[in-house]
DNA sequence: ATGCCTTTGTGAACGCGTGCACAAAGATGG
DNA sequence: CCATCTTTGTGCACGCGTTCACAAAGGCAT
């Protein structure tokens, strides 16, 4: 899955734990599927299986919303769909802007699932003058010059950043100054934002690197299992000054045609 | 950020906590930037600021890798880059396949950051016969018929799924049967996979819904703050049978031209 | 009505992750 | 060689999240 959080760390949200909030969309999706199949009720066990979680966890999650189940029977599907939607704020319409209409931004604009649950793409914004007016997903791209106007006129509170990493911080500042208080960031940068602004990030590189870590471990374990005592696959924690040279060499060769421009501090 | 995890829950990875593993790529990115600017050493405080984390957390994270710092000085940037890269398994080359070359899949294929750190797109695979041979990001799209052959011939262990949700489970099964043991899933579905296979998911809808939840709370708090006792914005936990009708209505109207097809259980 | 059977809701224990705060390590300057 | 100053590495406490396990609740059949 995508990654973590970057908001106010502990501010309990009316008692609903952050971990629970993150799972509600999962439950909602499973419930919607049941609803479409006209299933009237569902037990915590069944729903948990569909959402891929532990049934006790699901029941505890729901208990934060209230006592919406019936013992011996389960949960009313329609009713739960409504309650969770309301809790997540999906009963209202959320206008969203996408900034940076390149490969990814265009894919996002074309994404149907966007509009599916209360989210409406209010505008597509790009800094490239050549993009101005060009239709993407049946909507003309607008120039960044009008960013503030677009945000305020549409009452936008949620912004999606799909610009190169180098532009992300600046874009976020403009979005926030114009009234945006929630940002979904696809650029591989750490955004620094004022209190009260929520940032969530989606970072492909990080996800792949985490997978690579586990993949390497699997390979190491396997090798270790095959050859009884070939204790080297997982690398020995011994060398130090020796590897310094190799380290420098490795670092020197590391400068591919990347897009991963990290955020750095003064010095 | 993107979302959670779906692998073996507690299997401690040679002592390195999962939370730490998830942050290593962040540190690596910040360190790489320093390296490119030829900064020789960095303190935990500085690096933590660049990565957007607490400095104590960073030091504890590094302590799991070993004692790589020098007291009174800080960490050697090049050396640390090498150590983290090695720990994450990025000193080797990871061939990756992308399955489902639509809007998103094409954007991913064109993404430079992919190749940046040890990941190489080995093949693009799609089920649409019309796509076969069509070049995307300078690489011909191959047909799913050859999926197994492509995986085994290239020694692929990591697969990216960017197909519609309905196809994701089946695609994952073919990938796994062919030898893939790590999957990055962009389709909004819960994949069920055998033990030993890691799945991470990136789910746009979930991220937006989490933002919407917090956004709604902000609006509620604001309203409550403005009007002293207009205690209704956050909804009263009273009604029940009354809202059942509204719930049904809301659910009935909820069936937009979505792509969010959830996974469902038998019955 | 009464009893059985299913399933919820939650108390309690546990484990992981986070952050504080500080002693020890080491560099640096005199 | 010693004193001082910086910064690491970590012991410790705390809080959140997860999971178990079970009593209470309610439907349903008899
Ligand atoms: N393509 C992917 O699959 C993918 C995956 C993960 C992350 N990312 C990240 O998403 C971002 C976008 O990726 P992409 O492949 O679409 O890049 P891209 O170069 O195709 O698109 C970037 C777009 O942003 C616009 N832009 C640049 N500066 C801007 C500014 N200040 N304000 C508004 N618009 C601006 C450019 O004109 C361009 O249209 C990058 O940060 C990339 O690292 C992309
Ligand atoms: N576009 C986005 O921004 C975005 C964002 C988040 C999530 N997603 C999800 O990513 C997935 C892809 O989105 P998209 O917009 O690219 O859709 P798309 O319809 O443009 O592309 C899907 C592609 O998958 C191919 N495909 C279908 N079945 C296949 C199979 N069995 N094997 C191989 N290929 C198959 C299709 O031929 C098509 O090319 C969807 O599940 C979507 O919900 C997309």
pLDDT at A254 over 60: no
Q: Please give the structure tokens belonging to residue B164.
A: 């519609």
Q: Please give the structure tokens belonging to residue B9.
A: 């829950």
The dihedral sign for the CA sequence A213, A218, A223, A228: positive
The proportion of chain A whose per-residue pLDDT surpasses 90, expressed as a percent, equals 73
The proportion of chain A whose per-residue pLDDT surpasses 70, expressed as a percent, equals 79
The pLDDT of residue A236 is: 37
The pLDDT of residue B227 is: 64
Q: Which helix (H) or strand (E) holds A154?
A: helix A147-154
* Residue B125 annotated as lining a ligand binding site: no
pLDDT at B261 over 60: no
Q: Which atom of ligand 2 is nearest to the CA of B170?
A: 31
> Each residue of A132-164: pLDDT tens digit?
999 999 999 999 999 999 999 999 999 999 999
> Each residue of B184-218: pLDDT tens digit?
999 999 999 999 999 999 999 999 999 999 999 99
The pLDDT of residue B194 is: 96
DSSP letter for B195, please.
Answer: T
pLDDT at B163 over 50: yes
Strands A139-143 and A135-136: antiparallel
Give the mutation candidate from B50, B208, B221, B233 for the A interface (greatest A CB count, under 10 A): B208
Q: Best of B143, B150, B162 to mutate for ligand 2, by most ligand atoms within 8 A of CB?
A: B162
Give strand letter and number of the nucleotide nearest A55 (CA to C1').
D19
What does the pLDDT average to over A225-254?
44
**What is the full DSSP assignment across B207-258?**
HHHHHHHHHHHHHHHHHHHHSTT-TTTT--S---HHHHHHHHHHHHH---S-
What does the pLDDT average to over A75-95?
97
What separation in Å is there between the alpha carbon of B117 and the centre of ligand 2?
A: 25
Q: Are B98 and B121 in contact (CB under 8 A)?
A: yes
> Each residue of A192-211: pLDDT tens digit?
999 999 999 999 999 999 99
Q: Which atom of ligand 1 is nearest to the CA of A189?
A: 41
What does the pLDDT average to over B23-43?
97
Q: Which atom of ligand 2 is nearest to the CA of B168?
A: 31
Chain A positions touching B200 (Cβ under 8 A) are 1, 207, 210-211
Is B182 in Cβ contact with A81 (below 8 Å)? no
Instruction: Calculate the angstrom distance between C1' of D10 and CA of B12.
Output: 20
Domains of chain A: 18-87 (1.10.10.10), 94-202 (3.40.50.720)
The pLDDT of residue A260 is: 52
- Give every CB contact of residue B168 below 8 A, 6+ residues apart in sequence: B161, B185, B187, B189, B191
The pLDDT of residue A99 is: 98
**Ranges A20-24, A91-95, A193-197, B230-234: which has the least confidence:** B230-234
- Ligand 2 contacts (CB < 6 A) are A 107-108, 110-111, 113; B 99-105, 126-128, 144, 162-165, 167, 171, 186-188, 204, 259
The pLDDT of residue A266 is: 37
The torsion defined by the Cα of B76, B117, A263 and A94, in degrees rounded to 10, comes to -150
């Amino acid at each position: 899955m995508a990654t973590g959080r970057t908001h106010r760390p502990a501010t309990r949200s009316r008692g609903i734990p952050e971990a629970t909030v993150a799972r509600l969309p999962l439950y909602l999706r499973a419930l919607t599927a049941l609803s479409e199949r006209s299933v009237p009720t569902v037990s915590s066990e069944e729903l948990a299986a569909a959402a891929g979680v532990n049934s006790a966890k699901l029941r505890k999650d729901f208990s934060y919303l209230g006592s919406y189940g019936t013992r011996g029977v389960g949960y009313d599907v329609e009713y739960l769909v409504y309650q969770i939607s309301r809790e997540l704020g999906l009963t209202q319409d959320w206008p969203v802007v996408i900034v940076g209409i390149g490969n990814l931004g265009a894919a996002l604009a074309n994404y149907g699932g966007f509009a599916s649950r209360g989210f409406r793409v209010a505008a597509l914004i790009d800094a490239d003058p050549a993009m101005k007016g060009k239709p993407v997903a049946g909507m003309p791209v607008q120039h960044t010059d009008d960013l503030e106007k677009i945000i305020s006129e549409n009452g936008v509170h949620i912004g999606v950043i799909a610009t190169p990493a180098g532009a992300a911080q600046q874009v976020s500042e403009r979005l926030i100054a114009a009234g945006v208080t929630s940002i979904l960031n696809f650029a591989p940068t750490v955004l620094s934002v004022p209190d009260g602004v929520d940032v969530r990030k989606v970072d492909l590189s990080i996800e792949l690197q985490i997978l690579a870590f586990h993949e390497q471990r699997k390979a190491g374990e396997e090798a270790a299992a095959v050859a009884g005592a070939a204790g080297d696959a997982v690398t020995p924690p011994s060398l130090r000054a020796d590897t310094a040279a190799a380290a420098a060499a490795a670092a020197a060769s590391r400068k591919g045609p990347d897009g991963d421009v990290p955020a750095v501090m003064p010095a």
